[in-house]
Structure 1
Amino acid sequence: MTILWQISLFFFVFAPSVILIHEFGHALAGRLLGRNDSTIVLGKGREVFSGVWQRIGVSIRQWWFLGGYTKTISSDHAFSAGKGILIALAGPVINLICAWVMFITFPKTFIWQWTAYFHLWVGVVNLIPLYIAGRKSDGWHAIQLFIRVLCERGKT
């Protein structure tokens, strides 16, 4: 397999799979904690596929390889801050676990190594509290909720 083919395969199949796994971590944590209105959106542009799996909505967009997010209908305030923190951290944690498993068990080939490093990158970067151009990282959400917990404790 040529290097160009492997790079294409990584960007159009493996990298979107890493994002899907990350978003699934959020949706699954929300589902386990009682949130039943999560939808995973993969990509940008018009919707080309939608479905439901285990009561988690999935929407695949035209440009599926350009990121993703998990959306919910209910407000973040509908849950306790503790549950919100768990949901926010579930995506990065599942990426870090996948990276660890891949580094230990998968063959040391170009495509698997890139995928493992991308899992690691997505997990670590999403733990950093960032707010860029109106977009908040998972770390940002977790820190905001943690501050809310501290403020609520200070009131009592």
Structure 2
Amino acid sequence: MDIYLLLFLVFVVAPISMVIHESGHLIGAKTMRADHITLSIGLGKMIGSLSFKKIHIKFHTVFFLGGLLKSERTPTYKPLEIIWVTICGLLSSGLFTILFYLLYNIYTNYYIQLLFLFNGWLFIVNTIPFKIKGKQSDGYMIYKIILQIIQK
């Protein structure tokens, strides 16, 4: 991989892919009538923010590492509604994986291939249930809620 592809991966593909994934959660939260939605892009110190209606977007210094969506609603979400919001992020990553794959087959180049592969990786990794240092994947969130439903 040459330096241009690496820079493109870190500074373009990763942030765009995180925004795509977290926007899926945002759409899911909106469909469940969330009262407040906060989308955080990246890690580290907050460097800026945007707000409109009930949506707040925060930008952090290490914008290419991670994203997080928090949403709140009164009354609180029911378990199946939480699963829906969680699945929407996965669906978004999966849909864009397919779209970038189709685009790659039309316009074959390494830059589009990176978009296809990274979104596919994001979809697969987030589907796997795991929890590391208090952070949990979407798959873990769904798994945990299904276990709670079954145990009731």
Query: Structures share a fold, TM > 0.5?
Result: yes
In 2, Cα distance between the equivalents of 1:70 and 1:56?
10
1:95 matched to which residue of 2?
93
Q: Partner letter of residue 130 of structure 1?
A: F
For residue 74 of structure 1, report the CA deviation from its aligned partner. Answer: 5.2
In 1, Cα distance between the equivalents of 2:91 and 2:61?
28
Unaligned runs of 5+ in 2: none
Query: Does the 8 Å contact 2:42/2:66 carry over to 1?
Result: yes
Q: Number of residues paired by the alignment?
A: 150
Q: Partner letter of residue 117 of structure 1?
A: L
In 1, Cα distance between the equivalents of 2:64 and 2:26?
19
Unaligned runs of 5+ in 1: none
TM-score by length of 2: 0.90
Deviation by residue 1:86-119 (Cα, 9 ceiling, x = unmatched): 1111111110110111111242210110111110
Query: Does the 8 Å contact 2:131/2:140 carry over to 1?
Result: yes
1:36 matched to which residue of 2?
35
Please give the secondary structure, in 1, of the residue aligned with 2:49.
Answer: strand
Query: Does the 8 Å contact 2:38/2:58 carry over to 1?
Result: yes
Moved more, 6-15 or 135-144: 6-15
Indicate the percent of aligned positions where both proteins have the same amino acid.
22
In 2, Cα distance between the equivalents of 1:14 and 1:55?
27
- Report whether the alignment pairs 1:147 with 2:147: yes
Query: Does the 8 Å contact 2:29/2:71 carry over to 1?
Result: no
Query: Does the 8 Å contact 2:46/2:59 carry over to 1?
Result: yes
Structure 1 segment 57-136 matched on structure 2, within 5 A: 57-73=56-72, 78-106=76-104, 107-136=107-136
Please give the secondary structure, in 2, of the residue aligned with 1:47.
Answer: strand
Moved more, 5-14 or 19-28: 5-14
Moved more, 131-140 or 45-54: 45-54
2:16 matched to which residue of 1?
17
Q: Partner letter of residue 134 of structure 1?
A: G
